[in-house]
Amino acid sequence: MAVQKYVYDFSEGHKDLKQLLGGKGANLAEMTRLGLPVPAGFTVTTEACRAYLATGSAPDGLAAEIDSQLAALEQSMGRELGDPADPLLVSVRSGAAFSMPGMMETVLNVGLNDASVAGLAAQAGGDDRFAWDSYRRLLQMFGKTVCDVPGEEFSDALEEAKKVRGVTDDLALDADDLRALTERYKRIFVKYTGREFPQEPREQMRQAMEAVFRSWNAERAVLYRRQERIPADLGTAVNVVAMVFGNLGPDSGTGVAFTRDPASGAQGIYGDYLQNAQGEDVVAGIRNTVALQALKDLDPRSYDELLAIMATLEGHYRDLCDIEFTIERGKLWMLQTRVGKRTAGAAFRIAAQLVAEGMIDLDEALRRVSGAQLAQLMFPRFDLAGEPATLTRGIGASPGAAAGQAVFSADRAVELAAAGHDVILVRRETNPEDLAGMIAAKGILTARGGKTSHAAVVARGMGRTCVCGADELEIAADRFAVSGRTVSEGDVISIDGTSGRVYLGPVPVRPSEVVQYFEGERVDSTLVEAVDAIMRHADQRRRLAVRTNADTGADAARARRFGAQGIGLCRTEHMFLGDRKELVEKLILAQSEVDRTKALNALLPLQRDDFIELFRAMDGLPVTVRLIDPPLHEFLPSLEELAVSVAVARERGEEHSEDEQLLDAVRRMHEQNPMLGLRGVRLGLVIPGLFAMQVRAIAQAAAQLAAEGLDPRPEIMVPLVGAVQELEMVRSEGEHIVEEVIAGTGVQVLIGTMIEVPRAALTAGQIAEAADFFSFGTNDLTQMAWGFSRDDVEGAFFWRYLELGIFGISPFEAIDREGVGRLIRIAAEEGRQVKPHLKLGVCGEHGGDPESVHFFDQVGLHYVSCSPFRVPIARLEAGRAAVTGEGSDSR
């Protein structure tokens, strides 16, 4: 049997091994293969992590493999790990297949101890200060990330040391200060762990590696994965990399760079540089950085080399790359690269630019954008016509316009958001502990850090508006001060994630330019050009048609402008609300034929006018009108209220015979589970004349428009069918009426059914005999397949199910492929067996969900139908589904 390989040298891997080596490891290997200056190192695989997490201990053979990889690393570096005279030091870094910013842990300077600290000083030309600073950093990172010592213990001790010295900058502490600080850190370590800091370098490395494995299941990592829909069982890889030092003096430093602006997509040189600093200082946003261009003067040789490498990487990955690098005494080292995260607008711009530059084709451009990003671009923006007071300006790190009450801690953000308030989380800088608050907030404002700070990266990932690095803000526990004003908790501020401006008070918002473009207005912008090019291509490629769910002419017209190719669901019960409710109530409660006919006759012309409006707006396109499907209780007075008013009247001895009659009727009709009760086709079969009235109104409307020379294409849809007999009965009556009304008009009327009851899906072969089309009602189908009430469950226990990982996302949001999806597959297949050209669509909420659209494409449906605003998103995702190569040709 082949022995499991758990460790890969950087020279052994490549960029396509992300699942095994994690993103960081795979890309370090790729850069090594490209001949770029990457420090030597190796990657422990995600498989090793999964084995560790499953059993709680490292898998057999891992220790021996690491020993031999380490020996090779020592040999290539000419130093031994932690050698007191001339130590090799390593960093131990996490790296999962999906980038999870700030989630996982890094420990630098592993291999330092009481003896090797002197060797490091000697290596650094007698720089004791540097050596002790490195050692105290190891203690700090190791204590915090490996042993869960509270981070403030270390940062407070550092602040205190600076105070004693009367300095504000870490760099002003000398070797003796740092030596004393190191001793203090050791005592903190003992206090919290009950043991000494491990002096043995290999033991340090082993513990750090296992801590990285464990951090996969840290609370905030779990939370982040849930937000980002990343599977919970992938595990992380661990990278062990020879240390290079950016904190060896002014000719050293560390930085991050982007090959294009990740906020706007503009080409150029973007990044931050921090002189004389180590690794995480830039990302953590602890000190303010300088723009990358400043490196040109500081170290022109490294700057030129970096630019050449950036060009190589962008050419190689054919995409925006982000890069972490370190300069050690004038020598450039690449510590990380990856295809960079970007804002939604940048994703579209960059994809279109790369097409224009001939780097990728339009199919690839389509794969590189998403419906979720398009949704972000459809957010409204601030309307600045009222010239709101600008408080300050920071860096626009994640676009959008957000207004809300200022809050100063993640906990308060969660509390106030839960109470229904919009909040803006204001922090000096964020760290992973703030994640829950960032999710709860409408926007995030920080005083420190650039576009690569934790706040910026995480907010962009979540699509949350963020302004960072607003360094004029003086932030206290419950307020901030800026330009002579104080903003306290609860005061409303508005932040613009594009311009970086922060306003006092609420600022009105205006629609996005992308929405204006979809509305058919002329908008001159590079973003709209990019969206237009990609949308056109999506439309050309997609196999799914996109319709809309609309019940009014205005909605239908807007959806049509947004590209809808018809109406997939008109919920006629929405036409019975308002003042018509009374008519429906009369109809339901009618005791005599005369009363019923009267009510129906009153409703008929109203319905006809409704349909005329819809068919006109969708002239030439199909309009699926669903016959009425209200849970009955929505139209009846409340049993409790009625009972009380009748009881009160009786007590007073008042005559109330009408109310008493009504109460009797409501009692008769009362249901414990109205959602599983008298609704849909059942209502049509129980209340004579109701469906007939609707069918007549549809046919009359169509006939009238046809007479005007228009081209109405009605499709009549019967809801909640579970047995073919139900459909047959409605159909035969309906066909009669249609015949009678539209004979000679040339109008064609289809009659089909929703598939939204599990039994309908399971007997689809029979039902197809009586149906011209199926439309999957995935809301009810999900409700009935899971037995979850769609109206109650989200608040009641879904949070617990999500927490337990029973599902990663509500099945009412994204289609449950294995369960509900299976019912859809069965119905589609069996329906098609009976009628090969049976038209198939979906009109539940899932029709506008990006992930679900891909599933419907795979199953081979003809169309999805969704709310008007989701139409462009569904068009884009349908296009994307078509270029992934996983689709079905059964249409």
CB of 756: closest distance to Mg ion in angstroms?
5
844 binds, among Mg ion, ligand PEP, none (CB under 5 to 8 A by kind): ligand PEP
**Which one of 256-264, 440-448, 500-508, 775-783 is the stretch in contact with ligand PEP (CB under 6 A)?**
775-783
> What percent of the residues of the chain are helix, what percent strand, and what percent coil, each to the nearest 5?
50, 20, 35
CB of 843: closest distance to Mg ion in angstroms?
8
Asked if 681 is part of the footprint of ligand PEP (rule: CB under 6 A), the reply reads: no
610 binds, among Mg ion, ligand PEP, none (CB under 5 to 8 A by kind): none
Cα–Cα distances in angstroms (integers) from residue 75 to residues 40, 72, 580, 788, in the given order? 11, 5, 85, 61
CB of 723: closest distance to ligand PEP in angstroms?
17
Query: Going residue by residue from 826 to 845, which x/- string records binding to ligand PEP, judged by CB under 6 A?
Result: -----------------xx-
Total of chain residues touching ligand PEP, rule CB under 6 A: 10
571 binds, among ligand PEP, Mg ion, none (CB under 5 to 8 A by kind): ligand PEP
> No. of H helices and E strands in the chain?
36, 33
Using the minimum distance from each CB to ligand PEP, give the nearer residue, 758 or 844.
844
Using the minimum distance from each CB to ligand PEP, give the nearer residue, 95 or 841.
841
841 binds, among ligand PEP, Mg ion, none (CB under 5 to 8 A by kind): none
Among 246, 340, 734, 777, binds ligand PEP (CB under 6 A): 777
394 binds, among ligand PEP, Mg ion, none (CB under 5 to 8 A by kind): none
Catalytic residue among 49, 321, 466, 843: 843
CB of 325: closest distance to Mg ion in angstroms?
56
**Contact between residue 46 and residue 237 where contact means Cβ atoms under 8 Å apart:** yes
Among 128, 133, 715, 756, binds ligand PEP (CB under 6 A): 756
Using the minimum distance from each CB to ligand PEP, give the nearer residue, 253 or 758.
758
431 binds, among Mg ion, ligand PEP, none (CB under 5 to 8 A by kind): none
Asked if 684 is part of the footprint of ligand PEP (rule: CB under 6 A), the reply reads: no
CB of 844: closest distance to ligand PEP in angstroms?
3
CB of 840: closest distance to ligand PEP in angstroms?
14
C-alpha 698: how far from chain center? 41
Using the minimum distance from each CB to Mg ion, give the nearer residue, 281 or 573.
573
The neighbour count for residue 886, using CB atoms within 10 Å, is 11
For residues 322-349, one letter each, b for 16 or more C-beta atoms within 10 angstroms of the residue's C-beta and e for the rest, the string is bbbbbbbeeebbbbbbbbbbbbbbbbbb
Residue that is written with structure tokens 């403030």 in the block: 152
For 674, the 3-state DSSP assignment is helix
Q: Is 670 a catalytic residue?
A: no
Asked if 779 is part of the footprint of ligand PEP (rule: CB under 6 A), the reply reads: yes
Using the minimum distance from each CB to ligand PEP, give the nearer residue, 779 or 858.
779
SS3 track for 581-633 = HHHHHHHHHCCCHHHHHHHHHHHHHHHHHHHHHHHHHCCCCEEEEECCCCCHH
Among 306, 323, 567, 569, binds ligand PEP (CB under 6 A): 569
Give strand pairing partners of 267: 260
Give strand pairing partners of 331: 328
**Neighbour order of strands in the sheet with 474-475:** 474-475, 479-482, 485-488
Q: Which tokens sit at 153?
A: 């213990």
Pick from 589, 569, 826, 884: nearest CA to 716: 569
Pairing of strands 479-482, 485-488: antiparallel
Using the minimum distance from each CB to Mg ion, give the nearer residue, 496 or 780.
780
Using the minimum distance from each CB to ligand PEP, give the nearer residue, 161 or 760.
760
Distance CA 670, CA 644 (A): 16
Asked if 717 is part of the footprint of ligand PEP (rule: CB under 6 A), the reply reads: no
Among 778, 827, 841, 868, binds ligand PEP (CB under 6 A): 778
**Which one of 173-181, 341-349, 461-469, 773-781 is the stretch in contact with ligand PEP (CB under 6 A)?**
773-781
Asked if 580 is part of the footprint of ligand PEP (rule: CB under 6 A), the reply reads: no
Binding site for Mg ion (CB under 5 A): 756, 777, 780
Instruction: Compute φ and ψ for 78, nearest 5 degrees.
Output: 70, 20
- Cβ neighbors of 304 (< 8 A, separation 6 or more) are none
Asked if 510 is part of the footprint of ligand PEP (rule: CB under 6 A), the reply reads: no
The neighbour count for residue 592, using CB atoms within 10 Å, is 8
Q: What is the DSSP letter of 794?
A: I
For 412, the 3-state DSSP assignment is helix
Query: Going residue by residue from 582 to 621, which x/- string records binding to ligand PEP, judged by CB under 6 A?
Result: ----------------------------------------
C-alpha 504: how far from chain center? 29
- Cβ neighbors of 85 (< 8 A, separation 6 or more) are 119, 122
Pick from 473, 494, 496: nearest CA to 485: 473
Tell me the Ramachandran region of residue 111: left when phi exceeds 0, alpha when psi lies from -120 to 50, beta otherwise.
Answer: left
**Contact between residue 158 and residue 181 where contact means Cβ atoms under 8 Å apart:** yes
CB of 870: closest distance to ligand PEP in angstroms?
14
Asked if 571 is part of the footprint of ligand PEP (rule: CB under 6 A), the reply reads: yes
CB of 502: closest distance to Mg ion in angstroms?
45
Using the minimum distance from each CB to ligand PEP, give the nearer residue, 401 or 761.
761
**Which one of 307-315, 553-561, 635-643, 778-786 is the stretch in contact with ligand PEP (CB under 6 A)?**
778-786
882 binds, among ligand PEP, Mg ion, none (CB under 5 to 8 A by kind): none
Q: Is 843 a catalytic residue?
A: yes
Longest dimension (CA), the chain: 105
Using the minimum distance from each CB to ligand PEP, give the nearer residue, 137 or 846.
846
Using the minimum distance from each CB to Mg ion, give the nearer residue, 631 or 777.
777
**Contact between residue 57 and residue 242 where contact means Cβ atoms under 8 Å apart:** no
CB of 719: closest distance to ligand PEP in angstroms?
7
Minimal CB distance to Mg ion: which residue?
Answer: 780
**Angle ∠(515,518,519) on CA atoms, nearest 5:** 85
Asked if 780 is part of the footprint of ligand PEP (rule: CB under 6 A), the reply reads: yes
CB of 778: closest distance to ligand PEP in angstroms?
5
- Cβ neighbors of 850 (< 8 A, separation 6 or more) are 370, 371, 372, 873, 877
> How many Cα atoms are found within 13 Å in the side-chain-facing hemisphere of 476?
9
Asked if 65 is part of the footprint of ligand PEP (rule: CB under 6 A), the reply reads: no
Distance CA 271, CA 293 (A): 8
- Cβ neighbors of 653 (< 8 A, separation 6 or more) are none
Catalytic residue among 49, 321, 454, 633: 454
569 binds, among ligand PEP, Mg ion, none (CB under 5 to 8 A by kind): ligand PEP
Q: Which tokens sit at 470?
A: 């607003």
CB of 845: closest distance to ligand PEP in angstroms?
7
Asked if 551 is part of the footprint of ligand PEP (rule: CB under 6 A), the reply reads: no
Pick from 749, 757, 720, 761: nearest CA to 628: 720
CB of 824: closest distance to ligand PEP in angstroms?
11
- Cβ neighbors of 621 (< 8 A, separation 6 or more) are 560, 564, 565, 566, 567, 713
CB of 801: closest distance to ligand PEP in angstroms?
21
**Which one of 519-527, 531-539, 728-736, 776-784 is the stretch in contact with ligand PEP (CB under 6 A)?**
776-784
**In the chain, what is the straight-line distance between the N-terminal and C-terminal CA atoms, in Å?**
46
**Which one of 395-403, 479-487, 774-782, 805-813 is the stretch in contact with ligand PEP (CB under 6 A)?**
774-782
| Binding residues vs ligand PEP (CB under 6 A) | 569, 571, 629, 756, 777-780, 843-844
Q: Catalytic site residues?
A: 454, 843
